[in-house]
Each structure stands twice: as structure tokens, then as C-alpha cells.
Amino acid sequence: MPNQGNPLLSVRIPLELDELLPKERGERSRIVREALRAYLCPPEPQDEMALIKNQLAQLQKAIASIAK
């Protein structure tokens, strides 16, 4: 029977990493996919800087609205 979905990657991890992961299978998979993507395809520095600047601007607005 041909594979109907995405490829499957199984790895063994140290117990201390497993204890840090959530117990829900879908959430564990999401975290691993994001970690692999970040490791294998890191963002360009200029893109990362733009994201950080945007997040900082949002944080400044939130703090300003709380301070009123």
C-alpha cells in the first residue's frame, strides 16, 4: 500500500528532552516540525530583524495601552 501522507521520521531522544515535550501527540509533532524547520531553514537575518521590530512595536503599543 503506498504512503498516503507525509513521510514519517522516527527518532530516539534523551529522556530529559521527552519530559520537556507536551504529552499530546499532535503538539509534540508540531514542536518537532518547527524545530527542524528552524534548524534546517533558518530565517534570513534581515527577515528576523523585521519580525523582532514588529514584535517590539506591538509590545510597546500594549504597554502604552496598559499605562493609560
- Predicted confidence at residue 56, as pLDDT, reads 96
pTM over 0.75: no
Amino acid at 61: K
Counting residues of the chain whose pLDDT is more than 70, the rounded percentage is 96
Euclidean distance between CA atoms 7 and 20, whole angstroms: 25
Which three cell numbers mark 23? 504529552
pLDDT at position 37 over 90: yes
Euclidean distance between CA atoms 40 and 4, whole angstroms: 25
Half-sphere exposure of 21 (CA within 13 A, CB side): 18
- Predicted confidence at residue 2, as pLDDT, reads 58
Annotated domain spans of the chain: 15-67
Euclidean distance between CA atoms 7 and 65, whole angstroms: 46
